[in-house]
Amino acid sequence: MAQDKYRDAIGRSAVTTDDAFVAAEVKRILDEHLAENSNEEVYKFLFNCIDLTTLKSTDSPRSVADFTEKVNQFETEHPEMKNVAAICVYPNFAQVVRAVLEVSEVDIACVSGGFPSSQTFTEVKVAETALAVDGGADEIDIVLNQGNFFDGDYEEVCDEIMEQKAACRDARLKVILESGALMTAKNIRDASVLAMYSGADFIKTSTGKDVPGASLEAAYVMCQCIKEYYEQSGRMVGFKPAGGVRTPQEAVSYYCIVKEILGDKWLTNEYFRIGASGLANNLLTVIFGKETKFF
């Protein structure tokens, strides 16, 4: 019986699972709106939505401190611009960022829960999340358990998310679907519903560590799910594309999807983020009109 409530939640969704229709709608939105949204105002907004990310095996307390200092430096050198939304690091570096970060408007985000594979004990996931929050994380990015999802064990999928949500306490929880592995509109729709049903504050496309990263088609389906969920529950859930979003045009494309499906209410960095490392410099290059390698 327990599994039925999860399948019922999925069954209540009227979001399209027709891949061809999704692709056609994405093309229509971009044909109609990409050019008009490719402007400096939008570029600056997108910069303010970036989760500036370092997730390398060579990360160290010193390198993460230097990375954080760059954000402090940007605040000093460019007070006319809003800074990035957050700094995203491995959970063991939350305390480093907390100690070095001087910009109150920039949040600290940590990947957690056996990132990027989500293949470890639930107890380890919960402990890792709790330790990251104790270390100063404002936001936690976890990965939906793909293995359990494909096995149809939705109860286990949701229980894991709910336990980590509880471990977040006041921190916000982003659930990564790994849309490139889910592949189809139906799988992305079903995973989105389960994540939001389990308390996700954001749903995110990808880890950027495996399989294809973000796609506009996945974004379309996820945003439609967020819209439907908001209409049913009154709760706003954020959206975050990540994995391969590097150019201003790619970032504006996601902006168009969010604007046309969810509307201006979601066009704030409280509900729209972009997970990226290279995008920040590429946006600054078009904003400043010269090649910029600040970060």
Taking the C-alpha atoms of residue 55 and residue 64, their distance in angstroms, rounded to an integer, is 10
Alpha carbons 136 and 259: distance in angstroms, whole number: 32
Report, in angstroms and rounded to the nearest whole number, the Rg of the chain calculated over CA atoms. Answer: 18
Residue 56 annotated among the catalytic residues of the structure? no
Spatial separation of the C-alpha atoms in residues 57 and 81, rounded to whole Å: 31
111 and 55 Cβ atoms separated by less than 8 Å: yes
- CB neighbours of 193 closer than 8 A, spacing ≥ 6? 9, 10, 13, 225, 229
Ordered DSSP codes for 69-136: HHHHHHHHH-TTS---SEEEE-GGGHHHHHHH---TTSEEEEE-SSTTTT-S-HHHHHHHHHHHHHTT
Give the count of alpha carbons within 13 A of 165, CB side only: 17
The 3-state DSSP class for residue 256 equals: helix
Sheet containing strand 139-143, edge to edge, reads 238-240, 202-204, 172-176, 139-143, 107-111, 86-89, 50-53, 274-276
Peptide bond into 91 cis (omega under 30): no
Active site residue 240: yes
Of the residues 125, 165, 174, 240, only one is catalytic, namely 240
Residue 174 falls in the annotated catalytic set: no
Neighbours of 62 (CB within 10 A): 9
Measured between alpha carbons, how far is 233 from 5 in angstroms, rounded to an integer? Answer: 16
Catalytic residue among 138, 141, 190, 201: 141
The active-site residue out of 125, 165, 174, 204 is 204
Q: Reduced to 3 states, what is the DSSP secondary structure of residue 18?
A: coil
Query: Which positions are annotated as active-site residues?
Result: 141, 204, 240
